[in-house]
Chains A and B, each alone.
Chain A
Amino acid sequence: MAYVRLSKVPAIDTALKLSGVAVVMFAFVFVVMVPLYNVLCDVLGINGKTAGTAYTAVPVMIDESREVTVQFVAINNNEMPWGFAPDARVMRVHPGAANGTIFRATNPTNAPMVAQAIPSISPSRAAAYFHKTECFCFEQQGLAGLATADMPLQFIVDQDLPRDIHTITLSYTLFDVTASVTDQVVAR
C-alpha cells in the first residue's frame, strides 16, 4: 500500500473484532434477553404470570382474621372448541389455608385433542402471593373425542398478601396445542 495513514492497526483486525461484537449481540438475544425476561416476569409477577411449578409449603399460619375473594375466569383462545368452566366462579378463602377446586373441560369434537391452559393473575401485584400446589396448567391436558374431565386446582393464598388486596382474579386461557404435539410426535 502506497498511502500513509495515522493508525498503525490493520483495518482487518478492527473488522474482525467488530464481527465478533455482532455475533455476541446475536447470541445475547437468545442466551440473555429471553431467559432474563422470563426470570424477571417470574420474580416480579409481571403480566400476572404465576410460577410454572408447584409451590412447596412453608410453616403455615392461617389468617382467620380476614377473607380474600378469589374469582376464577376460564377463556377459550381463538377457535378452541372445548367447553371449559370453573366449578365455582367465586371462593372466599383465608390467607394461609389450603383450598381446592376443579375446572371442568369437555371435548365436543370426535377427535382426541390436547390443550394447554395459561394462567394469569390480576392484580399482577398478587401473583407472587398466589401459590398453586397442584394445577392442571402445569402440564398439557389430553381428552379423547366427546370426553369430559374434571381438572384439579389446589392453591394457597400467602398469609403475607398485602392487606389492601381483597380480591384476586385467576384467569385461564385454554389453547389448542394438538397440532404442535402431533408435530413433535411425528418429529420423533
Chain B
Amino acid sequence: MGDHHHGPAAGVTRWLFTTNHKDIGTMYLWFSFAMFLLGGFFAMVIRAELFQPGMQLVEPAFFNQMTTLHGLVMVFGAIMPSFVGLANWLIPMMIGAPDMALPRMNNWSFWILPPAFLMLASTLFMEGGAPAFGWTFYAPLSTTYAPPSVTFFIFAIHILGVSSIMGSINIIATVMNMRAPGMTYMKMPMFVWTWLITAFLLVAVMPVLAGAVTMMLMDIHFGTSFFSAAGGGDPVLFQHIFWFFGHPEVYIIILPAFGVVSQIIPAFSRKPLFGYASMVYATASIAFLSFVVWAHHMYTVGMPVAGELFFMYATMLIAVPTGVKVFNWISTMWRGSLSFETPMLFSIGFLVLFTLGGFTGLMLSIAPADFQYHDTYFVVAHFHYVMVAGAVFSMTAAVYYWLPKWCGRMYSESMGKIHFWISFIGFNITFFPQHFVGLAGMPRRIPDYALQFADFNMMSSIGAFIYGASQLLFLYNVIATIVSGERVSDEKVWDGAEGLEWTVPTPAPYHTFEEPPLVSKPAGTF
C-alpha cells in the first residue's frame, strides 16, 4: 500500500482527516480536558453560590442548570472521552497492532463529539435556559416541565451515544482481531482487558440511554405517554430505564481507571501485578453484576420488599470482586521496591480514596439505611469519591505516566508532586465534609440551605477552589512539558515499566508495529 513511513500531514487537515490512532487519541485527550475545565467552571459556580447560606450570586433556576450541566459535561464530556483517548493511544501499542481496526470510523466517532457538546452548551443561551432537571433527567421534570431547550439536549445525547458506540465497537474489534501473534487473551495488559470489558458494557447500554431519550422526545413532541401517568404511562418506568443504563455506566467510567492503576502500581513497585487472572475475572464479574443492581438507585420509589432485598444483596455482592482488586493492588506493593513518582502518587491516592468511596457505597447499598441517605449530600460525597478520586485521579496518573512516552519529554516532577498534594488535600477538604452535612440531612441540588450547614459548606467551597486551581497547574505542567520539557530517549522511560508500548522508540513514532512484535512473555512478568 505504497509508502508506509510517511509522517503526519501538515496543517489543520491533519487533524480533520486523520485516521491515525495517536492523533485521534491526542484529540480525545485535549477535548476531554477542555470539557473538564468547562464542567469544573460550572462546579465553581455551584460552590461559590453555596459558600454562604442565602441566595448570593445566581438565580435558583440557573443554579439547577449548573448542577445539570456540570454532571452531564463531566460524565459524558470529560471522563468518558478521556479514557477513549487513552484507549486510542495505548491499545494498539499494547497489543502490537499498527492502528485501530476501523480507522475511518475512529475519526468519525471523535469528530461528532464537539458538535454534540457545542449543542449542549448552547442551550445555556436559549430561551427558558439550559436543561435544569439534573444529570439523571428524571421524567416528568425532563418532559412535561422541561424548558424548550430539552430537544437540543436529547439530540446531544443521541450524538454522543452514537460516538460512544462507534468508539467501543472499534475497541472491541481492535482487541479481538488485531492482536500480534503470541498476544493471547491472558497475556494482554490489564488496561486492555478492562477496556475490552468496558466496551462491551458500552455497546450494551448506550442504546438503552438512546431509547430513554427517544421516548422523552416522543412524549414531548409526538403525543406518546411513556412517562406520563395521564396517558397510561409511568414516570417510574423512566427511572428503571435510566438506571438500567446508568449503573453499568458507572462501571464504564471506573473499569478503565482500574486498568490504568493496574499498569502503574506494578511499574513503581518493580513487581508483576499480583493475581493477574483474578483481576481479569473480578473485572468480568463486576461487569456482569452491574446489570442486576440498577434499582439500588431507587429504593424509595415504592418497590416490593422482595425487590429491595434482591437489589440490596446483589449490590453488596459487587464489593467482593472489587475487594479482590484492592487486595491485589496492595499485594502488588507489598515488599515491592517502591518509588513515589507522580503517577504512583496519584495511583496510591486513587487506591485510598476509591476504597473510601466504595465503603460509603456499601453504606448506601443497605436499603433501610438508604431511605435516610437518599438524595442528600452523603450521596454527592460518595460518588465524587469514586468519580473524581477514582476516575479523574487515575486519568491524571495515566497522563503523567505515559506523557514522556508520547512526546519524548519529561514533565517537571516537582510540579507534578505539588499538583498531587494540592489535589489530594483540596479534594478531601471539598468532599469529606459533605458526608457530615449529608448525614445531617442537607439535600443535594439546592441553591440555599439551613444555617447549621454553613461552616461545612464554606469548607467545601474553599476546598473546591483549591482543587480547581490545582488543575490549572496540571494544564501548565503538561504544556510546559510538550513545549520545553527535558528530552528523554530511553525506550523504557520508567525502569519498572513493562509492556509492548515501552519497546517502541521514545517519543512514540507516528506509525508503530507495522511489523508485528515478538510476544513471548506473559503480561506483567519480568
Residues of A in contact with B (beta carbons under 8 Å apart):
1-7, 9-12, 14-15, 18-19, 21-23, 25-26, 28-30, 33-34, 37-38, 41, 44, 46-47, 49, 52, 77, 116, 118, 124, 173, 175-177, 180, 183-184, 187
Chain B 217-236 interface mask (CB, 8 Å, partner A; 1/0): 00000010110011110101
Give every chain B residue within 8 A of A49 (Cβ-Cβ). 234
Which residue in B97, B184, B223 is a CB contact (below 8 Å) of A183? B223
Interface residues of B in 177-230 (CB under 8 A from A): 177-184, 203-208, 210-212, 215, 223, 225-226, 229-230
Give every chain A residue within 8 A of B170 (Cβ-Cβ). 15
B204 touching A46 by the CB < 8 A rule?
Answer: no
Q: In whole Å, how far is A135's beta carbon from the nearest beta carbon of chain B?
A: 14
Give every chain B residue within 8 A of A37 (Cβ-Cβ). 234, 237, 240
Closest to B98 in A: A3
B244 touching A33 by the CB < 8 A rule?
Answer: yes
List 12 A–B pairs whose Cβ atoms lie within 8 Å, in order of A's numbering. Answer: A2-B4, A7-B179, A11-B177, A12-B102, A15-B170, A18-B173, A23-B207, A25-B205, A29-B208, A52-B232, A175-B230, A177-B231
Given contacts A11-B173, A26-B211, is CB(A41)–CB(B180) below 8 Å?
A: no
Query: Measured between alpha carbons, how far is A120 from B67 in the docked complex, in Å?
Result: 33
Give every chain A residue within 8 A of B11 (Cβ-Cβ). none
User: Does any Cβ of A come within 8 Å of B461's Cβ?
Assistant: no
Give every chain B residue within 8 A of A3 (Cβ-Cβ). 97-98, 513-516
Residues of B in contact with A (beta carbons under 8 Å apart):
1, 4, 97-98, 101-102, 105, 165, 168-170, 172-174, 176-184, 203-208, 210-212, 215, 223, 225-226, 229-232, 234, 236-237, 240-241, 244, 302-304, 513-516
A29 touching B207 by the CB < 8 A rule?
Answer: yes
Query: Measured between alpha carbons, how far is A54 from B460 in the docked complex, in Å?
Result: 57
Q: A38-B234, A124-B304 are in contact. List 17 more A-B contacts (CB 8 A).
A: A4-B180, A4-B516, A7-B178, A14-B101, A14-B177, A15-B173, A25-B208, A26-B210, A30-B215, A33-B244, A37-B240, A41-B234, A46-B302, A116-B231, A118-B230, A173-B229, A177-B230
A11 touching B516 by the CB < 8 A rule?
Answer: no
Q: In whole Å, how far is B198's beta carbon from the nearest beta carbon of chain A?
A: 14
Closest to A124 in B: B302
A-B pairs with beta carbons under 8 A, tally: 131
Q: In whole Å, how far is B5's beta carbon from the nearest beta carbon of chain A?
A: 12
Closest to B202 in A: A22
Give every chain B residue within 8 A of A14 (Cβ-Cβ). 101, 169, 172-173, 176-177
Query: Measured between alpha carbons, how far is A136 from B179 in the docked complex, in Å?
Result: 65
Query: Measured between alpha carbons, how far is A38 from B173 in the docked complex, in Å?
Result: 37
Closest to B145 in A: A78
Give every chain B residue within 8 A of A116 (Cβ-Cβ). 230-231
Q: In whole Å, how far is A25's beta carbon from the nearest beta carbon of chain B?
A: 4
Q: In whole Å, how far is A73's beta carbon from the nearest beta carbon of chain B?
A: 15
Query: Measured between alpha carbons, how far is A14 from B182 in the docked complex, in Å?
Result: 20
Closest to B169 in A: A18
Given contacts A3-B514, A26-B207, A52-B232, is CB(A15)–CB(B178) below 8 Å?
A: no
Query: Measured between alpha carbons, how far is A183 from B218 in the docked complex, in Å?
Result: 14
Q: In whole Å, how far is A30's beta carbon from the nearest beta carbon of chain B?
A: 6
B207 touching A6 by the CB < 8 A rule?
Answer: no
Closest to B144 in A: A78
Query: Measured between alpha carbons, how far is A12 from B105 in the docked complex, in Å?
Result: 11
B231 touching A7 by the CB < 8 A rule?
Answer: no
Query: Measured between alpha carbons, how far is A117 from B482 in the docked complex, in Å?
Result: 65
Give every chain A residue within 8 A of B165 (Cβ-Cβ). 22
B230 touching A30 by the CB < 8 A rule?
Answer: no
Given contacts A3-B516, A46-B303, A175-B229, is CB(A11)–CB(B241) below 8 Å?
A: no
A6 touching B172 by the CB < 8 A rule?
Answer: no
Which residue in B105, B168, B232, B514 is a CB contact (below 8 Å) of A2? B514
Closest to B165 in A: A22
Query: Measured between alpha carbons, how far is A173 from B165 in the docked complex, in Å?
Result: 41
Give every chain B residue within 8 A of A38 (Cβ-Cβ). 234
B204 touching A21 by the CB < 8 A rule?
Answer: yes
Q: In whole Å, how far is A156's beta carbon from the nearest beta carbon of chain B?
A: 23
B211 touching A29 by the CB < 8 A rule?
Answer: yes
Give every chain B residue within 8 A of A176 (Cβ-Cβ). 230
Closest to A78 in B: B144
B207 touching A22 by the CB < 8 A rule?
Answer: yes
Query: Measured between alpha carbons, how far is A6 from B187 in the docked complex, in Å?
Result: 13
Query: Measured between alpha carbons, how far is A6 from B101 in the docked complex, in Å?
Result: 13
Query: Measured between alpha carbons, how far is A124 from B115 in the docked complex, in Å?
Result: 47
A2 touching B211 by the CB < 8 A rule?
Answer: no
Give every chain A residue within 8 A of B225 (Cβ-Cβ). 180
Q: In whole Å, how far is A68's beta carbon from the nearest beta carbon of chain B?
A: 22
B211 touching A184 by the CB < 8 A rule?
Answer: no
B177 touching A9 by the CB < 8 A rule?
Answer: yes
Query: Measured between alpha carbons, how far is A12 from B170 in the docked complex, in Å?
Result: 9
Given contacts A29-B207, A34-B237, is CB(A5)–CB(B302) below 8 Å?
A: no
Give every chain B residue within 8 A of A52 (Cβ-Cβ). 232
Give every chain B residue within 8 A of A124 (Cβ-Cβ). 302, 304
Given contacts A22-B165, A33-B241, is CB(A6)–CB(B181) below 8 Å?
A: yes
Query: Measured between alpha carbons, how far is A17 from B168 in the docked complex, in Å?
Result: 13
Interface centre among B168, B169, B184, B204 (most CB of A within 10 A): B169
B183 touching A15 by the CB < 8 A rule?
Answer: no
Given contacts A37-B240, A180-B223, is CB(A11)–CB(B101) below 8 Å?
A: yes
Q: In whole Å, how far is A40's beta carbon from the nearest beta carbon of chain B?
A: 10
Closest to A3 in B: B98
Query: Measured between alpha carbons, how far is A5 from B184 in the docked complex, in Å?
Result: 11
Closest to B306 in A: A44
A15 touching B241 by the CB < 8 A rule?
Answer: no
Query: Measured between alpha carbons, how far is A173 from B235 in the docked complex, in Å?
Result: 14
Closest to B232 in A: A52
Query: Measured between alpha carbons, how far is A9 from B101 in the docked complex, in Å?
Result: 11
Query: Measured between alpha carbons, how far is A4 from B168 in the docked complex, in Å?
Result: 23
Query: Measured between alpha carbons, how far is A1 from B97 in the docked complex, in Å?
Result: 12
